[in-house]
């Protein structure tokens, strides 16, 4: 980075203002922490949503800490390791996961505070900007939605890398750079945080561009040459290539997909899935993102944003013109208002990976977590133009307004039924919200409502196996066996041998007492997905009823390995082990069950005692 002067000499020469800023820093840290606690203190029991289930609840890696350590250098490895550590020390207890997410968000807010002090030394603006960063309602999706820890953790590492890079520049300006140990250690920490950011989520690959951006905007005379800045940034480019190359080789070695796009993107036509169509779609999405930062209404977990069908339309042209106008404003303000200019450029660079050519879900709220720093720069840059008292008052109005909206948003996150209903009101075209509401209706026994929601969802998108599978479950519970089997067959056809539907069909035949067909279907489910814990459990039940108890015991063991906290699995494992004379396994299952379900543990203890009697 350019040679940085210290924050106090960079933008202000008034010693009293500098002293106030230095001594107020601990209080500012406390203020940011209090704001985070107020907004997110009530989210510790927010349940699992959407991608939480495959990535955390049902993830074999999360349950295997050594495997998570082994995969640390794989894409998203640091984030998966953090989930595995959560599981190691708290199982699937929700508060632990949310507490870690909140702490990551708080650390990011503190880092934003330190960075903003480099732009607005000696003023209250850095605190106002950091408060906006931590209380803005758009941020709730990256904090309260557990699996989006990938987003917030990656952003934290990136912001820390930027801050350490700034410190390196300040050391150089103060004559403590070069080969001195503090400078080298800080630079190494900067590289390490940058690498962790990219590993945690690949959208952080824009780090070198963001470092270069802030290098140009924060540096003052004597200005380092462009060539010198590039050389100083070269290790970050090489590190990015190294991490990317390792990820590529690791994927090839383990025969895993290299490019992963969203399931929604996979359901589009070939033309709609093309990078060019996605890019043109994002023209409008980017402007909506800008509006959401300024006026955060219309937030949703699933926006169901449709990709463009035609490239050359008036609306697409106007959206592109809007983006170019914003970039022109940023360029025009590069000397008159560096913060606003840098913030606008930051916004577009931070979204460069996810909102350009890689087909993903066109619009999701959590992508704004890192661009939020750019918005904070813009807000503070505009507030700086106002008289101090008016600026502080306007900043506090924004903080209170955003904080109240975020608090209300988190109230919704605590209630899945209300949350998905709000999503459906905001986005009537969302089949995912309908599906989620249908699952909740099935759990509450409102099967007719579930069927109506699922039929509406299928009318919107008939390419999702889960919708037919859930409709089959509703039919099964209503006693309509022929329709249930038909829906499961449709799910298998749509989902290319969808494993859960084989399991559910097996459950239907188990209810009919046809244990042989149930066994066949559960084995087919396991051929499609060997980690289908429910299939292993149901297979064990089928084998037990077919009087093949040793094979049933093996199936229950596999189910217990995949779901060690499932009380029914542990109960059956203990009972069958005891019947076969495997007392050690039975006692081990009882011990594990005592920590999971006291009622079932007492019942199993009674069964084991009865089996021990002569």
Pairwise CA distance, residues 141 & 239, whole Å: 30
Helix (H) or strand (E) holding 120, with range, is none
What the block records as the tokens of 368 is 């704004």
CA-based max dimension of the chain? 92
DSSP 262: -
pLDDT at 535: 96
Q: Quote the Cα angle for 28-157-110, to 5°.
A: 5
| Cβ–Cβ < 8 Å for 82, 69 | no
pLDDT at 248: 47
DSSP 146: G
Pairwise CA distance, residues 503 & 267, whole Å: 24
pLDDT at 22: 44
- Provide DSSP, 372-435: HHHHHHHHHHHHTTS-HHHHHHHHHHHHHHHHHHHHHHHHHHT-HHHHHHHHHHH-TT-HHHHH
Mean per-residue pLDDT, 512-538? 95
Least confident range from 18-32, 327-341, 489-503: namely 18-32
pLDDT at 183: 86
Helix (H) or strand (E) holding 431, with range, is helix 431-443
Read off the pLDDT of residues 108-166 as tens digits, 9 standing for 90 and up: 999 999 999 999 988 999 999 999 999 999 999 999 999 999 999 999 999 999 999 99
Going by pLDDT thresholds of 50, 70 and 90, the confidence category of residue 76 is very high
Helix (H) or strand (E) holding 283, with range, is helix 275-294
Least confident range from 143-152, 185-194, 227-236, 589-598: namely 227-236
Going by pLDDT thresholds of 50, 70 and 90, the confidence category of residue 609 is confident
Which residue do the tokens 């922490």 mark?
33
Read off the pLDDT of residues 1-44 as tens digits, 9 standing for 90 and up: 333 233 333 333 333 334 344 448 899 999 999 999 999 999 99
Pairwise CA distance, residues 197 & 292, whole Å: 25
pLDDT at 20: 41
Which residue do the tokens 């859930």 mark?
470
Q: Is the pLDDT of residue 505 over 90?
A: yes
Q: Is the pLDDT of residue 264 over 50?
A: no
- Provide DSSP, 28-61: HHHHHHHHHHHHHGGGTT----TTHIIIIIT-TT
Helices 431-443, 447-460: inter-axial angle, 10-degree rounding: 160
Mean per-residue pLDDT, 213-218? 86
User: For a pLDDT cut of 90, what percent of the chain falls above it?
Assistant: 75
Mean per-residue pLDDT, 175-190? 84
Which residues, at least 6 apart from 8, have a Cβ–Cβ distance to it below 8 Å? 18, 21, 22, 121, 122
Going by pLDDT thresholds of 50, 70 and 90, the confidence category of residue 565 is confident
Q: Count Cβ atoms below 10 Å from residue 453 Cβ, excluding itself.
A: 28
Query: Mean pLDDT of all residues in the chain?
Result: 88
User: For a pLDDT cut of 70, what percent of the chain falls above it?
Assistant: 88
Helix (H) or strand (E) holding 110, with range, is helix 94-119
Mean per-residue pLDDT, 94-108? 98
Which residue do the tokens 């066994």 mark?
519
Mean per-residue pLDDT, 47-74? 93
Which residue do the tokens 């099967």 mark?
447
* Torsion of Cα atoms, 474 then 479 then 485 then 486, to 10°: -70
pLDDT at 134: 98
Q: Assign 504 to helix, strand or coil.
A: helix
What the block records as the tokens of 467 is 């919708």
Least confident range from 95-109, 165-179, 306-320, 525-539: namely 165-179
Q: Which residue has the higher pLDDT, 185 or 246?
A: 185
Going by pLDDT thresholds of 50, 70 and 90, the confidence category of residue 596 is confident
pLDDT at 259: 38
Which residue do the tokens 């011990």 mark?
591
Going by pLDDT thresholds of 50, 70 and 90, the confidence category of residue 272 is low
Pairwise CA distance, residues 299 & 138, whole Å: 7
Least confident range from 139-153, 215-229, 498-512: namely 215-229
CA 488 to chain centroid, in Å, comes to: 30
**Omega before 206 within 30 of 0, i.e. cis:** no
Pairwise CA distance, residues 464 & 432, whole Å: 10
């Amino acid at each position: 980075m350019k040679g940085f002067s210290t924050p106090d000499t960079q933008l202000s020469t008034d010693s009293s203002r500098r002293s106030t800023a230095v001594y107020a820093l601990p209080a500012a840290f406390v203020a940011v922490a209090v704001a985070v606690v107020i907004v997110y203190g009530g989210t510790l029991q927010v349940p699992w949503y959407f991608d939480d289930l495959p990535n955390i609840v049902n993830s074999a890696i999360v349950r295997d800490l050594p495997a998570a350590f082994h995969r640390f250098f794989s894409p998203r490895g640091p984030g998966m390791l953090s989930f595995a550590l959560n599981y190691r020390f708290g199982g699937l207890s929700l508060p632990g996961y949310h507490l870690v997410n909140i702490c990551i968000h708080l650390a990011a807010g503190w880092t934003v505070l330190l960075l903003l002090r480099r732009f607005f030394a000696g003023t209250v603006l850095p605190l106002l900007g950091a408060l906006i960063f931590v209380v803005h309602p758009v941020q709730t999706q990256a904090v309260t939605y557990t699996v989006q820890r990938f987003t917030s953790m990656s952003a934290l590492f990136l912001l820390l890398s930027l801050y350490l890079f700034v410190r390196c520049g300040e050391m150089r300006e103060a004559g403590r750079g070069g080969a001195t140990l503090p400078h080298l250690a800080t630079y190494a920490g900067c590289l390490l945080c940058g690498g962790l950011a990219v590993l945690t989520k690949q959208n952080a690959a824009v780090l070198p561009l963001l470092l270069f951006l802030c290098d140009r905007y924060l540096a003052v005379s004597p200005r380092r040459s462009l060539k010198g800045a590039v050389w100083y940034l070269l290790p970050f480019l090489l590190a990015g290539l190294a991490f990317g190359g390792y990820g590529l080789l690791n994927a090839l070695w383990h025969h895993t997909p290299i490019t992963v796009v969203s399931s929604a993107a996979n359901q589009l036509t070939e033309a709609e899935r093309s990078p060019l169509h996605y890019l043109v779609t994002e023209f409008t999405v980017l402007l909506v993102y800008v509006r959401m930062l300024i006026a955060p209404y219309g937030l949703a977990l699933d926006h169901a944003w449709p990709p463009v069908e035609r490239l050359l339309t008036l609306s697409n042209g106007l959206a592109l013109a809007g983006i170019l106008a914003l970039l022109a404003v940023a360029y025009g303000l590069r000397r008159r208002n560096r913060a606003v200019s840098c913030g606008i450029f930051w916004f577009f660079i931070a979204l460069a990976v996810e909102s350009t050519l890689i087909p993903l879900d066109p619009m999701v709220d959590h992508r704004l977590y890192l661009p939020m720093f750019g918005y904070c720069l813009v807000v503070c840059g505009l507030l700086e133009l106002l008289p101090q008292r008016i600026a502080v008052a306007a900043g506090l109005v924004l903080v209170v307004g955003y904080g109240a909206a975020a608090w209300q948003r988190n109230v919704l996150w605590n209630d899945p039924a209300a949350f998905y209903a709000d999503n459906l009101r905001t986005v009537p075209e969302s089949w995912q919200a309908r599906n989620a509401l249908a699952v909740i209706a099935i759990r509450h026994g409102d099967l007719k409502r579930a069927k109506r929601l699922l039929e509406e969802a299928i009318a919107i998108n008939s390419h999702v196996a889960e919708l037919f599978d859930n409709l089959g479950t509703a039919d099964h519970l209503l006693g309509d066996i022929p329709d249930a089997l038909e829906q499961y067959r449709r799910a298998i056809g749509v989902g290319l041998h969808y494993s859960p539907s084989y399991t559910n069909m097996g459950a239907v035949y188990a209810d009919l007492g046809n244990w042989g067909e149930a066994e066949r279907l559960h084995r087919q489910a396991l051929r499609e997905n060997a980690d289908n814990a429910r299939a292993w459990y149901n297979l064990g039940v089928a084998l037990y009823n077919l009087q093949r108890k040793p094979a049933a015991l093996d199936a229950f063991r596999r189910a217990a390995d995949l779901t060690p906290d499932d009380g029914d699995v542990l109960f059956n494992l203990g009972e069958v082990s005891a019947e076969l004379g495997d007392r050690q396994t039975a006692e081990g299952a009882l011990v594990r069950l005592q920590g999971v379900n006291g009622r079932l543990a007492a019942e199993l203890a009674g069964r084991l005692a009865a089996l021990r009697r002569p």
